Amino acid sequence: DAKTTQPTSMDCAEGRAANLPCNHSTISGNEYVYWYRQIHSQGPQYIIHGLKNNETNEMASLIITEDRKSSTLILPHATLRDTAVYYCIVSIFQGAQKLVFGQGTRLTINP
Amino acid sequence: DAGVTQSPTHLIKTRGQQVTLRCSPKSGHDTVSWYQQALGQGPQFIFQYYEEEERQRGNFPDRFSGHQFPNYSSELNVNALLLGDSALYLCASSLVDRSGNTIYFGEGSWLTVV
User: What are the tens digits of pLDDT across the range B28-52?
Assistant: 889 999 999 999 899 999 999 999 9
Mean pLDDT calculated for residue range A10-37: 94
Mean pLDDT calculated for residue range A26-30: 88
Q: Do B2 and A46 touch, CB atoms closer than 8 A? A: yes
Which of B42, B56, B90 is the closest to A43 by Cβ?
B90
CA–CA separation, B23 and B77 (whole Å): 12
Say what the pLDDT of residue A105 is. 97
Say what the pLDDT of residue A1 is. 63
Alpha carbon B13 to its chain's center:
17
pLDDT of A83 > 60? The answer is: yes
Say what the pLDDT of residue B101 is. 74
Q: In chain A, what residues touch B92 (CB-CB under 8 Å)?
A: 99
Question: Which SS3 state, helix, strand or coil, does residue B87 take?
Answer: strand
pLDDT of B96 > 80? The answer is: no
pLDDT of B114 > 70? The answer is: yes
pLDDT of A110 > 90? The answer is: yes
B94 lies within 8 A of chain A by CB: yes
Mean residue pLDDT of chain B comes to 93
Say what the pLDDT of residue A102 is. 87
* A88 — pLDDT class (breaks 50, 70, 90): very high
Mean residue pLDDT of chain A comes to 92
Return the percentage of chain A with pLDDT > 70, whole number.
95
Q: In what order do the strands lie in the sheet with A105-110?
A: A9-13, A105-110, A84-92, A31-38, A45-50
Q: Kindly report the nearest CA distance between residue B17 and chain A, in angstroms.
A: 24
